[in-house]
Amino acid sequence: MIKYALTCEHGCEFEGWFGASADFDDQAARGLLECPTCASRAVRKQIMAPRVSGTKKRGEAAVQGGKRQMMMEAMAQVRRHVEDNFDYVGDTFAKEARAIHEGTSEEHGIYGEATPSEVKSLVEDGVPVAALPPAPPKKGEVN
- DSSP 3-state assignment of 130? coil
pLDDT, one tens digit per residue, over 108-125 is 999 999 999 999 999 999
CA 100/CA 112 separation, integer angstroms: 14
Bridge partners, 113 (sequence order): none
Domain boundaries, the chain: 2-45, 70-131
For residues 22 and 87, the model is more confident at 87
Measured distance CA(131)–CA(62) in Å, rounded = 29
For residue 112, report the phi and psi dihedrals to the nearest 5 degrees: 175, -155
Please report the beta strands in the chain, taking only residues with DSSP state E, as ranges in sequence order: 2-8, 13-18, 43-45, 87-90, 110-112
Q: Does residue 84 surpass a pLDDT of 90?
A: yes
